[in-house]
Amino acid sequence: MISRTAITPKKNNPATSTKTETGLRNAAFGADKFGLNVLVKYDQPGYTVSARPNEKKLRAFRIVDPEGNTTDFYIDPVTARVMKYVSPYMGYTFGTENSKFKEIDGVLIPFSFSQRLEMAMGAFFAEYKVKEAKLNQPLNADVFMIQ
C-alpha cells in the first residue's frame, strides 16, 4: 500500500492546462529517455557518462543519451544507492528523491520517496510512503479475466 500526499499550486490556469496535459502525456511516452531506465543503458553506443558536482553528501554523475536527453544521478557514497535523479525533458524537469529503503526477501524497496515536476506554471511535489510491501504473493486466476 502506498499513501500519497500531493501539494499543488492553488491557482489553476485553464489557458495552460490543456497545453500542460498534452505536454505531460507526450513526456510520458519519452519515459525511457530519462530516469532509472537510462541507467541500464549507460554502456550502449551513443551514451556518455560524466561527473557532476557533488550535492550535499551525494556523489553525482550525468548520463546523456544519443538524442541529447540527460539524467543526473546522485549516489550515496556509503551504500552506493541511487538516492535522487533529475531529468529535464520537453520543457519540464522531473525528479525523484528516495529517503528510506527496506530490504524484503532480498529485494531493496524504496519505502519513502518524493517526486517533483517543474514547469512554467510552477513546481508540483508528491510524497509517497509505503506502508506494506509484499513480494511473490499468490494470485487467483480470475485476476486476469477480462469482463
Mean pLDDT of the chain: 79
Q: Which residues pair with 64 in a beta bridge?
A: 48, 70
In a domain, 117, yes or no: yes
Question: Is 58 a residue whose pLDDT tops 80?
Answer: yes
In a domain, 139, yes or no: no
In a domain, 24, yes or no: no
Cell of 60: 553525482
Query: Do the beta carbons of residue 129 and residue 147 sit within 8 Å?
Result: no
DSSP conformation class of 136: S
Domain count, the chain: 1
Q: What is the pLDDT of residue 83?
A: 92
In a domain, 127, yes or no: yes
- For residue 64, the number of C-alpha atoms closer than 13 Å in the C-beta half-sphere is 9
pLDDT tens digit sequence for 119-144 = 888 889 999 999 998 888 888 888 88
In degrees, to the nearest 5, what angle opens at C-alpha 93 toward C-alphas 91 and 94? 135
User: Percentages helix, strand, coil for the chain, rounded to the nearest 5?
Assistant: 20, 50, 35
Query: Do the beta carbons of residue 19 and residue 56 sit within 8 Å?
Result: no
In a domain, 75, yes or no: yes
Helix (H) or strand (E) holding 103: strand 92-104
User: How far is residue 121's CA from residue 27's CA, in Å, rounded to a whole number?
Assistant: 16
In a domain, 15, yes or no: no
In a domain, 68, yes or no: yes
Domain span at 44:
2-9+33-131
Cell of 34: 530519462
Query: Do the beta carbons of residue 139 and residue 10 sit within 8 Å?
Result: no
pLDDT tens digit sequence for 70-115 = 999 999 999 999 999 999 888 888 999 988 889 888 888 889 999 9
Predicted structure pTM score: 0.70
Q: What percent of the chain has pLDDT over 90?
A: 28
In a domain, 72, yes or no: yes
